[in-house]
Amino acid sequence: MLTKRLSQMKDAFDNLPQLEKLYYDCGEDIALLNNSLEMYLPTVRVAKEALKGTCKTISEFNREFDMTTTSDTLKSYKYQIEGLKHIKSSVRVRIDGLNTERII
């Protein structure tokens, strides 16, 4: 998803309507990922509860949780959301730049 949006940003660099559509699409992608993450949180809770009984210290718990696929999936959601937010911000800056050029 991030690669696709970056490619679209490069292709639409000087095209204001395409950039505006990309800005909207990034917002939709962020919303979809947030919804997916929200639905995934009960799975995270279950995994943490299962580990809680077997680990004696917080550092051991954190180390064990970091080695689970649940942790990897959770990190993936977070990184994708952050990446899309950065792309959306960059697109917004470019849109503002094109609007400024058009006014001058």
Residues of the chain falling short of pLDDT 50: none
The residue range of the domain holding 36 is 2-7+16-103
What is the tally of structural domains in the chain? 1
User: Whole-angstrom distance between the N-terminal and C-terminal Cα of the chain?
Assistant: 35
pTM for the whole structure: 0.85
d(CA 39, CA 33): 10
The dihedral built from the CA positions of residue 1, 11, 16 and 98, taken in this order, carries a sign that is positive
- The whole-angstrom separation of Cα 45 and Cα 71 is 11
What are the pLDDT digits (tens) for 82-94?
999 999 999 999 9
- In contact, 14 and 98? CB cutoff 8 Å: yes
Q: Report the alpha-carbon distance of residue 77 to residue 43 in Å, rounded.
A: 14
